């Protein structure tokens, strides 16, 4: 009886080890799939993941002029068709171009004639300021002019407070970005000052700028070269006169057809820019991020190229309409990370193939040993 019991045990063990081998070699199939309707393709089209300058050149059309920034994009602002880009979904710090999202979020929520009392914490903010005075009330309209022309961080904080609080405003800014399909964007400061985790992309800034330019009041602000700020009382009680502010967007002063919209700069973000211009019934929007060059000239050259050749180009992608995009499941090849990813259910660990090979050999060895023992006993 010993031999049959040994044979049964050896056979059972060899079958088990062979099964382990098969599972290890083949692998365990994933239990979780992508959420229904989700996609790994970048918002705007699959070509936007390509490296280098992305453009579909037609015969006789020159390549777009060199752009100094790490990322850029140019698109037809009316149709949303993207003509050229480089790393359009790559995450970068937006600096004061984020004020475009601040204004887009707050203009529909605040009465332009509402008077907002400025507080000391508003004027103590770092970076560029309009020069508004704590203890003085200014209209929403004046503060928006200060926000968009003079890039006033003090105006950004006063406006955010008037919209219940800075925290509420940031939450609404991020909701606005998500509604637009600007999933690369995460706002952490209404002024665009650098904060850990605050990012946007050339693609997202084009979505945000395009949406903002559909608001007549926003378009009026960013196309203005100057505005007036009324006087007020200083902290010492002295009455100070009003003053004029100038638009920081140099393209407005130097490019025929320029209509806005917003530039930005911090040491970490470097130069950032959203620009738009109209000529001959065509309007193009340009976005640039992480540029070492603050000159308006490269932007002007790219706009010239678009006005001259845009109608002959096949688009590389599309600026999506609000509410039309699905948040990507996977990061794009440019390194852009989605704000959040669906959590897949846990799955059992997959055994490595070498485990299966060892198991299979062990089983065969046991069967061989049993056969040898049977032969020896018969002798």
Which residues does the annotation mark as catalytic? Answer: 96, 99, 151
Query: Where does the chain have alpha helices with state H?
Result: 2-26, 99-106, 120-123, 140-148, 153-162, 166-180, 202-212, 216-222, 251-254, 297-309, 353-378
| Integer angstrom CA distances of residue 372 from 57, 129, 359 | 74, 91, 20
- Distance in Å from the first CA to the final CA of the chain: 17
Kindly report the CA angle at 349 between 343 and 354, in degrees rounded to 5? 145
Spatial contact of 277 and 108, defined as CB atoms under 8 Å apart: no
State the Cα torsion 241-242-248-253 to the nearest 10°: -110
Q: Which residues have CB under 8 Å from 144's CB, separation 6+?
A: 103, 106, 107, 112, 155, 159, 217, 221
Q: How far apart are CA 210 and CA 368, in angstroms?
A: 75
């Amino acid at each position: 009886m010993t031999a049959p019991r040994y044979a049964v045990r050896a056979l059972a063990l060899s079958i088990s080890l062979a099964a382990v081998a098969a599972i290890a070699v083949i692998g365990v199939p994933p239990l979780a799939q992508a959420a229904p309707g989700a996609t790994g393709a970048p918002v705007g089209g699959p070509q936007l993941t390509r490296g280098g300058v992305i453009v579909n050149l037609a015969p006789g059309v020159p390549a777009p002029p060199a752009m100094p920034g790490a990322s850029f994009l140019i698109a037809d602002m009316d149709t949303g068709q993207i003509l050229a880009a480089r790393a359009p979904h790559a995450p970068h710090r937006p600096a004061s171009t984020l004020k475009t999202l601040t204004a887009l979020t707050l203009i529909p929520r605040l009465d332009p004639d509402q008077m907002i009392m400025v507080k000391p914490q508003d004027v103590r903010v770092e970076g560029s300021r309009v020069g508004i005075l704590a203890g003085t009330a200014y209209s929403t309209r004046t503060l928006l002019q200060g926000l968009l022309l003079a890039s006033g961080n003090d105006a950004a904080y006063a406006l955010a407070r008037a919209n219940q609080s800075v925290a509420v405003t940031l939450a609404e800014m991020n909701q606005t970005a998500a509604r637009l399909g600007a999933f690369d964007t995460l706002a952490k400061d209404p002024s665009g000052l650098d904060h850990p985790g605050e990012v946007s992309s050339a693609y997202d800034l084009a979505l945000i700028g395009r949406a903002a330019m559909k608001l007549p009041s926003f378009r009026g602000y960013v196309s203005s070269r100057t505005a007036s700020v009324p006087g007020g009382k200083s902290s010492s009680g002295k009455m100070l006169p009003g003053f004029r502010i100038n638009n920081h967007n140099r393209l407005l002063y130097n490019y025929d057809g320029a209509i806005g919209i917003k530039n930005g700069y911090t040491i970490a973000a470097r130069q950032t820019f959203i620009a738009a211009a109209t000529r001959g019934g065509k309007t193009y929007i340009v976005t640039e991020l992480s540029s070492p060059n603050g000159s308006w000239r490269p932007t002007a050259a790219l706009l010239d190229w678009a006005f001259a050749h845009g109608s002959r180009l096949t688009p590389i992608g599309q600026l999506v309409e609000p509410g039309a995009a699905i948040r990507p499941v996977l990061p794009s090849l440019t390194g852009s990370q989605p704000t959040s990813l669906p959590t897949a259910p846990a799955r059992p660990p997959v055994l490595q193939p070498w485990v299966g090979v060892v198991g299979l050999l062990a089983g065969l060895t046991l069967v061989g040993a049993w056969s040898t023992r049977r032969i020896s006993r018969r002798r």
